[in-house]
A and B are shown apart, each in its own frame.
Chain A
């Protein structure tokens, strides 16, 4: 169960590189944990720190106040590569609640929904607009499926209806599946009968 996501008003941080993979989001050495908590430190660690382990003063994720910037805007194919959910745990722990990108990787999208993080696949033109208005604030209304960008009007977005419902209500997908256990057991029983084994 995660906190319901209804309306989010925030500024955003832009990462303009294409194909940002989950190894960059959380380097493998930070995955040697049995907890999903406390991963903010690992978030883009190698990009945010110098060789001596000091925070780089010029990296966008170190410069901006995350409390005011809860939306991450990234170039296409964000979250590609490894299936590590650690990438979403770290992103959330760092303070982000939504990711806007022209294309998000499949497994990353599932992981995000499972953690109450909204991923919106935006048109390339809207991505370009955002990259030219990086200091703007925006309001994401998940109920109405709109994004209003200060000074640039309101646009609508598409999102999977089930993902939307889960986010709006904070629905637990595992709980949803558990409710289907009778149907699952019936399926298993029918399969055994039909089995050629």
Chain B
């Protein structure tokens, strides 16, 4: 029987199949933990005296509550609250007590979980991967089935290395044509999310396929899969190919017998006759740099376009008003106050290179605050070795330590109420980047161009 890539992974991880009465039991290969969504899980297991089933199947990293400014001369980290510091201490203690590998402050490999796993070569094709974080979908770029879970499920995976699951439906997003200069995987992701709607893929696992996907780098594939959750998808996945294998050959912690594994991984693709429950087509040729006008990620329009025309009683008015935009107003040229280049969506080395290329030798205007936060400490060192930090600093921006930072503002990196921020992150929800903050989602190129212009800008005008 012809199978989709998703079905191949799913079938080989079922401990028991689902029935009308009971869900299936799905085995999980790799469990990522962070300090925010795991403490209650450890606490629950300790209270019930349930041991951790397979500590080697997990990796714990601190990224959400961590300050991005360095420790002071007294050696203390500038935590936003004692509670935030307590989460970090708790994560370290739980990992240590349970024999789970922990990447803490002293570890040079620390970073955002979804940047670090792939960077080290721990994210592999054909795996099932979960984390108490919705952007776990990022790892699907490697042909892994990866999805976010809640804290009760974190406890379930710690205790049994399994989850109770009903099989999701499958959807193929087929992308044809090619992305034009100045148009990135982020713009493609915003186009897909807008085409499907914020809940349009709920209940589905998306497979991204087509000639454009084959041409994308691993970093670009991660950006695209990362955003799958923004249209409600359970996961996003891309079949592994030579681009994937070449990435893994260069990873410090990829398995030793990688060539042997590659010979099996080439089979991890959707069979020709396989049937998807749904399919949509996307024409990459017509995609422009995208920006959002509303408070859900499915409100993207081309930078050359206007916000939608709407009547006074249009329910979408609430979002437009929150963002401080007028009905039918040109997006390009709208004033901005903050720019955030970071997050598990867009803070890998090529993202920073693209932003730096635009900002080189230029300065941001005084009314703009620019924060550049690398996705991992490895990315930070690589960027510094190339002098990218100097470009951002000379432009008038800030260069920080790795972490989730302003994407969700848990660590105190916040946008003030009423201020508009162009952000390379994934969510423009009400209050996401700070109470009353107004988020415009965009690519690193658009964010960099806007930082320089002091208004929403088209990055294509910055290339010679």
Contact = CB atoms under 8 A, between A and B. Distances in A.
Contact of A23 (B198, B199, B431): B431
22 contacts: A21-B296, A21-B432, A23-B429, A24-B430, A28-B409, A32-B80, A32-B83, A36-B40, A46-B431, A81-B229, A81-B230, A81-B429, A82-B427, A84-B150, A103-B199, A106-B168, A174-B152, A177-B164, A181-B53, A184-B27, A184-B162, A197-B255
A106 B348 CA distance: 28
A81 to B, nearest CB: 6
B77 interface: no
Interface string A148-189: 000000000000111001000000011011101101100110
B392 to A, nearest CB: 25
A29 B83 CA distance: 10
A41 to B, nearest CB: 14
Interface stretch (B2-10, B13-21, B381-389, B452-460): B13-21
B160 A77 contact: no
A105 interface: yes
B294 to A, nearest CB: 10
Interface stretch (A4-12, A90-98, A109-117): A109-117
A107 interface: yes
Contacts of B65: 32
Nearest to B158: A174
Q: Ordered nearest first, which 4 A-B pairs have the shortest CB separation?
A: A77-B199, A114-B152, A34-B39, A111-B150
A184 B155 CA distance: 16
A76 B232 CA distance: 12
Interface string B261-304: 10010000000000000000000000000000000100000000
B20 A178 contact: no
B406 to A, nearest CB: 11
- Interface size range on B against A: 35 or more
A72 to B, nearest CB: 17
B151 A180 contact: no
A165 B278 CA distance: 30
Interface stretch (B84-92, B171-179, B213-221, B338-346): B84-92
Nearest to B199: A77
Given A80-B199, A162-B21, A165-B21, A181 B431 contact: no
Nearest to B264: A196
Interface string A32-50: 1111100000000010000
A184 B81 CA distance: 41
Interface in B30-63: 36-37, 39-40, 43-44, 50, 53-54
A177 B132 contact: no
Given A24-B430, A106-B234, A180 B149 contact: no
Centre residue among B90, B132, B430 by max chain A CB count within 10 A: B430
Nearest to B235: A106
Nearest to A112: B150
B148 A107 contact: yes
Given A162-B22, A177-B25, A177-B162, A17 B318 contact: yes
Given A28-B408, A162-B21, A174-B50, 9 more contacts: A29-B80, A81-B427, A105-B232, A106-B234, A110-B150, A110-B152, A114-B152, A162-B22, A174-B155
A142 interface: no
Contacts of B398: none
Interface in A97-140: 103, 105-107, 110-111, 114-115
Interface in B158-209: 159-164, 166, 168, 198-199, 202-203
Centre residue among A85, A88, A188 by max chain B CB count within 10 A: A85
A19 interface: yes
